[in-house]
Chains A and B, each alone.
Chain A
Amino acid sequence: MKDLTISASQSTPAITTDAAEGRMTLRGDSYPENSFELFGPVIQWVDEYLASTEQPLTITLELQYLNTSSVKAMMDIFDLLEAAHGDGRDVSVTWYYDSRNERVGELAEEFKEDCSFPFAVVSR
């Protein structure tokens, strides 16, 4: 499986995947001009990874600001995880946020609502 390495820009987060380790990381702000172009391959990677192996998937997020289309893309990813979790797969999300910006943590908690897979919101 082809891994993704997308470096951060002013308006897009750094995105890396590691299929061998079952890891994906998104870090930074996200208000892309074309969110389909940015998140299309990410969602596809998650989908293909979950279909291609029975190994666990761990997603680490350090996202600050998200625009509406990025919010939707994240929910698409969480929906895939939720379905996989329903099939008994080992999937999890850890969302780190800066303790000086409580609001980011509160919004991460809102994403977490209705997710039954392990989803940790951690301040640091």
Chain B
Amino acid sequence: MKKKRYQDLESRIRALLAEPGYEGHPLREGLDVLWQHTVEQLERLERISYLSDAFQSMARQRERGMVERYDRELRRLAKIVRISDGYQEMMRNVNAALKESSSRDPLTNLLNRRALMELMKDLSSRPRALSGGFVVAMLDVDHFKRINDLYGHDAGDRALVELAEVMRASVREGDHVGRWGGEEFLIVLPQVCLADGEAVIDRMLACVRASRIQIEGDSLTLTVSVGIAQHQDEESLSNTLSRADRALYLAKQAGRDRVALESPDLPG
């Protein structure tokens, strides 16, 4: 509508300026100058709106680009975090596996000496009223040297593995059976008095005695001797262990395949 009006005006002015009859008229020159000025102003206006539009679309594009880049970076960051968490979890699992393997005896898969010590330290650091106290049982396989001499060390190792399984299966659920070294084992019995501990060990001795261990086609009966001692408040761990060791010696002296006690009240 506006364009039409402008076109009409333009053709009217041009017609007036082209009319030879107005040649030399003072208003004609004025109109000519005014018209040229108007045309220039219009061109300028058009240029300005063109530039302004261009800037606006550039700014919009830039904004869109920034949003895209931001989204991309966000996705990238999420990926880094996800993968990094994966590596951390992997490290944790490796640590757990290492801890597990460092606390096990590789032959019998029972707790090893280090793990037993840690366990007993932990138990002894708690007041007996809270932890319920604990009894340690020191075990030695009777005449084990004969098996090694007769059948060789590999067979001896296999016998230890079978024996370990029998012992582990015949104590209470919360008792900890470990290999102390060679043919020596140690059982930690938490929350138990000396007499009850003795009963647990007696049952275990019966299971060991009743089981037949197959070696090189022979069916053998193994027995173990056990010395037990109850850890006393304020007593050092090494003292409890040497009392159990002394009781073990008594069990061996008394004819093996039995449990002997070391009561803290007895001189020794």
Name A's B-contacting residues (CB within 8 A): 65-68, 71-72, 75, 101, 103-104, 106-107, 110-111, 113-114
B64-87 toward A: CB 8 Å interface, digit per residue (1/0)?
Answer: 000000000000100111111011
In the bound complex, how far is the Cα of B90 from the Cα of A38, in angstroms? 23
Q: How many A-B residue pairs have CB under 8 A?
A: 37
In the bound complex, how far is the Cα of B82 from the Cα of A66, in angstroms? 12
B91 interfacial contact with A, CB 8 Å: yes
Query: In the bound complex, do residue B83 and residue A103 qualify as a contact, i.e. CB atoms below 8 Å apart?
Result: no
Residues on A with beta carbons closer than 8 Å to the beta carbon of B81: 68
> How many B residues, CB 8 Å from partner?
13
Residues on B with beta carbons closer than 8 Å to the beta carbon of A107: 83, 86-87, 90
CB distance from A77 to the nearest CB of B (A): 13
Query: In the bound complex, do residue A65 and residue B80 qualify as a contact, i.e. CB atoms below 8 Å apart?
Result: no
Interface of chain A, main secondary structure: helix
Name the residue on A nearest B77 (C-beta): A72
In the bound complex, how far is the Cα of B75 from the Cα of A114, in angstroms? 11
Residues on B with beta carbons closer than 8 Å to the beta carbon of A101: 90
Within 209-237 of B, Cβ neighbours of A (below 8 Å) are at: none
Name B's A-contacting residues (CB within 8 A): 76, 79-84, 86-87, 89-91, 93
Partner of A66, one of B76, B87, B89, B93: B87
Query: In the bound complex, do residue B80 and residue A68 qualify as a contact, i.e. CB atoms below 8 Å apart?
Result: yes
Question: Can you report 6 A-B residue pairs in the complex whose CB atoms are below 8 A from each other?
Answer: A67-B84, A75-B80, A101-B90, A103-B93, A110-B86, A111-B83
In the bound complex, how far is the Cα of B80 from the Cα of A113, in angstroms? 12
What would 4 more interface pairs be, CB under 8 Å, given A66-B84, A107-B83? A65-B91, A71-B84, A110-B83, A111-B83
The 10 closest A-B pairs by CB, nearest first: A68-B84, A103-B90, A107-B86, A71-B84, A71-B83, A110-B83, A71-B80, A72-B80, A66-B87, A107-B83
Query: In the bound complex, do residue A106 and residue B86 qualify as a contact, i.e. CB atoms below 8 Å apart?
Result: yes
Name the residue on B nearest A68 (C-beta): B84
Query: In the bound complex, do residue A110 and residue B84 qualify as a contact, i.e. CB atoms below 8 Å apart?
Result: no
In the bound complex, how far is the Cα of B84 from the Cα of A110, in angstroms? 11
In the bound complex, how far is the Cα of B84 from the Cα of A107, in angstroms? 9
CB distance from A10 to the nearest CB of B (A): 15
Residues on B with beta carbons closer than 8 Å to the beta carbon of A71: 80, 83-84, 87
Query: In the bound complex, do residue A65 and residue B87 qualify as a contact, i.e. CB atoms below 8 Å apart?
Result: yes
Chain B CB within 10 Å, residue with most, of A101, A103, A104, A113: A103
Query: In the bound complex, do residue B86 and residue A75 qualify as a contact, i.e. CB atoms below 8 Å apart?
Result: no
In the bound complex, how far is the Cα of B87 from the Cα of A12, in angstroms? 15
Query: In the bound complex, do residue A110 and residue B87 qualify as a contact, i.e. CB atoms below 8 Å apart?
Result: no
In the bound complex, how far is the Cα of B76 from the Cα of A110, in angstroms? 12
In the bound complex, how far is the Cα of B87 from the Cα of A110, in angstroms? 11
CB distance from A110 to the nearest CB of B (A): 5
In the bound complex, how far is the Cα of B79 from the Cα of A65, in angstroms? 16
